[in-house]
Structures are given as C-alpha cells and as structure tokens.
Chains A and B, each alone.
Chain A
Amino acid sequence: MITVRLMRGAVMARLPSRRRAGAAIFASLAGATVVLLTAALSAHGQANTPSDAEKSKALAAWDDIVIVLRHPRCLNCHQENVPLEGDERRIHIPLVVRGPENGEYNSQGVSAMRCRNCHNVSGNNETSGTPGGGDTGGWRLAPRTMTWQGLSSAKLCEIIQDKSLNDNMDGPALIRHMGSALVMWGWEPGGDRTKVPMLHDDFINQMKIWVAGGMACPP
C-alpha cells in the first residue's frame, strides 16, 4: 500500500488536470485491488495453516503411518542398493543391485539381473513363490534418496515430505502414491508373507489426517 501511494503521488504531479482525475480513479482502483488481493491471500494462508488440534491429530496419525512404512513389505525395497527379503530382512537371493537410477531400467537391476526378469507385473506367482504386482514401472527399488533403513521416526517423517528427495511429491501426491499398484502389493503380498498390519483404507485415512495437519513430525 505504501508503495502504491508513493507511486500515485509522483505520477499525478506530472499529469495535466483533466487526465489527473482519470489517473486518480485508476490509481484508487489499483490500490483497492491490491488491498483486496492482500486480504484474500492472507485469508487463504490462514485457511491452510492447520490448527493446534489438527497438528496433534497429524502427529497421532504419523505414529500409525510410520508403523506401515517400517514394515518389511515397504522397507525391504526402500534400501540403498540391494533389496531385502522376508520379515527377517535378509539380503535378496540371488543378489541383485539397484543399477542406474534413470531411463527405462530405473532402479530395476542390471543386465541379466533385472527385477522384471522374475517378478510378474500381473501379480504374485504362487507357483514359483515369486512376488509380483506393479504398475507401469514394475517391480523396483525405491529411489536412493528414499532409503529408509535405520531412520528415526522423526527423520523418516522429514525426508518423506521433502520434495527435493521424494520425486517432487506434495501431500496429495504422497496419498496417491500410497494407493499405487506397487505399494498396494504390501496388502496382498502372496505366499506366507505377512501383510502390512493396517487396513489400507485406514492407512489412507491416517495419511489424509497427517497431510491436513501440515504433515507434522515428531521432535
């Protein structure tokens, strides 16, 4: 507002009287517009700022969410270079490594040892016991920046919402990711693998509460 008023005074002084009236109206309208826009943006900002109650709910929701994220069905592929297997989290047999993190084979192994050489896109293979199920990207390791092994709850909460690390996902995108085919496998892992210990609908609800509460993290 101060800037608008200063500019209006300087410009008006240089104009002939007939045009001054028009310019004054224009400047007043412009000033009013700035005031309204500022008020609207301020109100919008306040609406997006979660209340203390929402933050508390978000923190409680995170405590449920992190149990899922640390479950072997999720954590086993959120590893730095080699996926793990089983609830005991042993090194994948046979040994496979991440491979390049870009292109067609993004984090899907190397050469004759690519994930999709054994893991079916259409689902678990109950004959060979090989788990499968995926989206267009198929079976793969999570990005190296999403290595969750060994992280505290607070650190995991911090990095999962860091768009510079999480493939540029905001809150709604994170919720969508949790409904993707590859993630959904954790709820139907086949064989005698333990399922993620929470109904998927309940998990998504907790995710929504967490996002609505500003994705609050424990200290």
Chain B
Amino acid sequence: MVTLNVNGRSVDLDIDPKMPLLWALRDFLGLTGTKYGCGRALCGACTVHIDGEAARSCSIMAGDAKGQITTIEAVSGKVADAVKAAWQRLNVVQCGYCQSGQIMAAITLLSSNNKPSDQDIDLSMEGNICRCGTYVRIRAAIHEAASKL
C-alpha cells in the first residue's frame, strides 16, 4: 500500500512501492495529462512537481514520492498562470505531447528565477525534449512569462 498526496488530496493505492509514479498517476488515478515518453528519465515528458520541484515521474518510485505531488491538471498560481498564458499567446505547442512536461519544468525554473537568461533557460530545460523542435518558442514564452512576474 502506498499513500500519495496528489493535487491536494491523499489517496491510498494498493501498488508496489517500486512502481514508477507515472503509472500510479496515469493508470490508477486517471491523470493522463502527464505523458510517457522514454521511461528512462531522458525526455522530460513525464515531469510533475513534488513539493514544487520538477520530478521525472517515470523514474521516481511511487514509494519515494513522499511530498505533495502536483500534475499539469492542477498546477496553479501566479507563475503557472503566467506560463500558461504565454504558451497560449505565442502558440508554443505543435503536436503537444511533450508540452505538459515543458510547462511543469518552466514553472519550476521561474519559481526560483523570475529573470532567467537564455543560458538559465537552456540549463533548466535541458531535460525536456521536443521532437517538433519548438525550443525557440518555448524560450520566448518563458521570457514572456518572466516579464509578467
């Protein structure tokens, strides 16, 4: 039995503690906004927040996810609102598969650095891959979101 705190509620799941958090979120809680990409912590599509920090849910074991887990479905607040608005205004998304992970990583970056340089953005977003190549728009959207904070 594993107890998870997800999007503000506590849930008990009858699962192996070594199950990837991603499976628990998608298959047991129906939170499918978080995507499966590589399953090896290499692409960032599965990024969620644990206590406000970015975490690769395919790699973090459910039993290790002790903190408050937030997924794309429930992320909110001033930074999240600014990021989502910038994403929409600049039409960042192409196919969209990686974008929940991109947005969660961008929120983590701007929560600790509200005036990131291009290098700050590159280093922080390095682990989030976009096969459509929307990196230029992602960077622009992060700068735009930062300007609203």
Task: Decide whether A and B assemble into one complex.
Answer: yes
- Which residues of A does B touch, CB under 8 Å? 93-97, 110-114, 116-122, 125-130
B147 → A minimal CB distance (Å): 18
The residue on B at minimum CB distance from A93 is B42
How long is the Cα–Cα vector from A122 to B62 in the complex, in angstroms?
Answer: 11
Interface residues of B in 24-72 (CB under 8 A from A): 39-42, 44, 47, 53-56, 58-61, 63-64
In the bound complex, what is the Cα–Cα distance between A207 and B19 (angstroms)?
A: 38
Q: How far apart sit A112 and B54, CA to CA, in the bound complex (Å)?
A: 5
Dominant SS at the A interface?
loop
- Which of A117, A120, A126 lies in contact with B53, CB distance below 8 A? A117
Could you show 28 A-B contacts with beta carbons less than 8 Å apart? A94-B44, A94-B129, A96-B126, A110-B123, A110-B124, A111-B54, A111-B108, A111-B113, A111-B120, A111-B123, A111-B124, A112-B47, A112-B127, A113-B124, A117-B54, A117-B56, A118-B41, A118-B55, A118-B60, A120-B59, A125-B20, A125-B59, A125-B61, A127-B18, A127-B19, A127-B58, A128-B41, A128-B59
Q: What's the dominant secondary structure at chain B's contact region?
A: mixed
B82 at the interface (CB under 8 A from A): no
Known contacts A125-B18, A129-B40; is-contact A117 B126 (Cβ 8 Å): no
Tally of contacts, chain A with chain B, CB under 8 A:
86
Does B42 contact A94, Cβ atoms closer than 8 Å? yes
Say yes or no: is B138 at the interface (Cβ < 8 Å to chain A). no
B105 at the A interface (CB under 8 A)? yes
Task: Give the distance in Å from the alpha carbon of A116 to the alpha carbon of B53 in the complex.
Answer: 9
CA distance A94 to B123 in the complex (A): 10
> For the complex, is B125 an interface residue (Cβ under 8 Å from A)?
yes
Chain B neighbourhood of A111, CB < 8 A: 54, 108-109, 112-113, 120, 123-124
Instruction: Give Cα A128–Cα B43 distance, bound, in whole angstroms.
Output: 12
Nearest CB in chain A to that of B43: its residue: A94
Bound CA–CA A117/B128 (angstroms): 12
- Which one of B18, B40, B104, B127 contacts A130 once the chains associate, using CB atoms below 8 Å? B40
A128 to B128: give the CA distance in the assembly, Å: 16
Bound complex: CA A120 to CA B18 (Å): 10
CB-CB under 8 A from A122, the residues of chain B are 61, 63-64
Q: In the bound complex, how far is the Cα of B18 from the Cα of A119, in angstroms? A: 13
